[in-house]
Structure 1
Amino acid sequence: MSTEQNHQEPDPQDPGSEDAAELRPDEAAQPDAQSATTEVEQLTVDLANAKDQVLRTHAEMQNLRRRMERDVENAHKYALEKFVGELLPVVDNLERSIQAMADVGDEFKAVSDGIELTLKSFQDVLDRFKVATVNPGGEVFNPDLHQAMSMLEVPDAKPNTVIDVFQKGYTLNGRLIRPAMVVVAKSVANNTSET
C-alpha cells in the first residue's frame, strides 16, 4: 500500500475532524473580530470617562487651591477684626473725655492735651493696621455703613442726609466692623390744609 492511500484528506463537513476549524478561518475569525471591536469601543469609552474624571478632579483641585489661598488672605486681612472691635469703645471714651475737658475750661489743659496725644497715637496705630473711621456727617445715608438711630424733619437739610453722628463707625481693610450710628434728615411734611 502506498503512503498516499493512508493519508486521507480531512472532510470539512465532518464535525469530528480536528482540522475543521482550520479549514473555515473566516467563520472562526468573525466572532473574535466582533469581540475585539466591542472591546476597543468599550476601552475607548472608558478612556474618555477617565480623561473626563481627571479633568474634573484637576479643576476641583484648582478651585480648592484658590479657595484656600483666598481664605488664608482673608485670615491675614481680617485677623484683627475682633480685637479692633473690642478696642473701639476705648477710642470712643477718649473722644468723650476730650469733649468733656473742653467744657471744663483751662484748668485741666495739661490733662486734656495728654488725652489728645493718647487718642492721636491710638488712631495712628489703627491707621497702620488699615482701620478706617466712618464719620459721615453731611453725607448721604448709606445703609451699608450707617445705622439710622432716628429721623428728623430738618428744613435746611436734604432728605436722606446724615445730620448728626452719635457714634463713629469703623472698617478694617474695607470690611465694616461697626456701623456709624447717625440721625438722618427726612423730608418735611406739608402741613397746608385746604380752606
Structure 2
Amino acid sequence: MTDAHHPTPDAAAAPEPGLSPEAELARLRDQLAEAQLALTAARDAQLRAAAEAENRIRRAENEAAKARKFASEEVLKDFLHITDSLELGLKAAGTVPDGVAKALVDGVQMTLKQLLSALEKHGVRQIDPHGQPFNAEHHQAMSMAPGGELPANHVLSVMQKGYSLHDRLLRPALVVVSQGGG
C-alpha cells in the first residue's frame, strides 16, 4: 500500500516527464537527503528507546535490591525491644542476691550477646553515642544536664541505645545532652 508521502521505490526512482537531467539529478539528491535525515532520526529514536529501556531495567533492579535489603526492617525493630529488656535486666541484676545474680546475669548476658550477634548478621548496628558530639540525625535529646568535664552538646548519658540497618536509622538513641562544665 502506498500513499503520497511514501511512494514505492520504483515510483520514487522513475524520472518525472519533462525534467532536464540536471533537474532530475537535483530531485534525486533531495530525495536522498530526505531519506538520510529520516534514517538518522529513526536511528536516534531507536537509541533513545534502547537507553530508556536500559534505565528502566536498572531502576527496577536497584529498587528490588533495596526492597530485599530493607524487607526485614519492621521485624528487626520488634527485636530491639527485647534487646532493651535484656539490657535493663542486666542493670537490675545488681539488686538481686549474689548467689542468684551470678547465674541470672550470665544467662542474660549470653542471651543478649546472641541476640546482638543475630541482629548484626542481618545488618543491624547498635548506636551507643556516650561521650560523642550530639547528632540530631542519630540521637534524640530527652533533656540537657550539666556535663562536668564533658563539652557542651555532647552525649552525657544514653537512656536507650539507637540502631541502624545498613546505614539507615531504625531507631534514634535517646540521650541526655551536656550543657557543658558546671
> How would you bin the TM-score normalised by the shorter chain?
0.7 to 0.9
Residues 118-172 of structure 1 show CA distances to partners (whole Å, capped at 9, x for unaligned) of: 1121112112222110000001112221112222232421111111111101111
By how many angstroms is 1:188 displaced? Answer: 6.1
Which residue number corresponds to residue 102 of structure 1?
Answer: 94
Call closer, same or farther: CA 1:41–1:67 in 2, change over 3 Å.
Answer: same
In structure 2, the residue matched to 1:20 is none
Among candidates 154, 160, 173, match of residue 167 of structure 1? 160
Residue aligning to 1:79: 71
Specify whether residues 163 and 29 from structure 1 end up closer, same or farther in structure 2 by C-alpha distance, changes over 3 A only: same
Please report how far the alpha carbon of residue 38 of structure 1 lies from its aligned counterpart in structure 2 after TM superposition. 2.9
User: Does the CA contact (< 8 Å) of 1:101 and 1:108 recur in 2?
Assistant: no
Instruction: Give the distance between the partners of 2:117 and 2:63, measured in 1 at CA.
Output: 28
Query: Which amino acid counterpart does residue 43 of structure 1 have in structure 2?
Result: A
Say yes or no: does 1:151 pair with 2:144: yes
Counterpart of 2:49 in structure 1 is 57
> In the aligned structure 2, how far is the partner of 1:187 from the partner of 1:168?
22
| Superposed CA offset, 1:39-77 (max 9, x none) | 222222211111111221122122222222222222232
Identity %: 35
Q: Please say which of residues 166-175 and 141-150 is displaced more in the overlay.
A: 141-150
Cα shift at 1:113? 2.4
* Letter paired with 2:40: A
Task: Give the C-alpha shift of residue 104 in structure 1.
Answer: 2.4
Q: Any stretches of 5+ residues in structure 2 without a counterpart?
A: 1-16
Equivalent residue for 1:122? Answer: 115
Residue 31 of structure 1 and its aligned partner are, at CA, apart by 5.5
Moved more, 167-176 or 104-113: 104-113
Where does the alignment leave 5 or more consecutive residues of structure 1 unmatched?
1-24, 190-195
Give, in angstroms, the shift of residue 32 of structure 1: 4.1
| Preserved CA contact (<8 Å) 1:81 1:172 | yes
Over the residues paired in the alignment, what is the CA RMSD in angstroms? Answer: 2.3
Contact kept, 8 Å, 1:85 with 1:177, in 2: the verdict is yes
Q: Report the CA distance shift for 1:166/1:29 in structure 2 as closer, same or farther (over 3 A).
A: same
Task: Tell me the amino acid that sits aligned with residue 180 of structure 1.
Answer: A
Which whole-Å deviations, capped at 9, do the CAs of 1:84-117 have from their partners, x for residues lacking one?
A: 0111111101111111122223253223322222
Q: Determine if contact 1:137/1:164 at 8 Å carries over to the other structure.
A: yes
* CA 1:116–1:188: 2 relative to 1, 3 Å: closer
C-alpha distance in 2, partners of 1:129/1:60?
34
Is 1:135–1:169's contact at 8 Å kept on the other side of the alignment? yes
Query: Structure 1-normalised TM-score?
Result: 0.74
Rounded Cα–Cα distance in structure 2 between residues aligned with 1:101 and 1:94: 10
Larger gyration radius, structure 1 or structure 2? 1
Out of 62, 85, 89, the residue aligned to residue 81 of structure 2 is 89
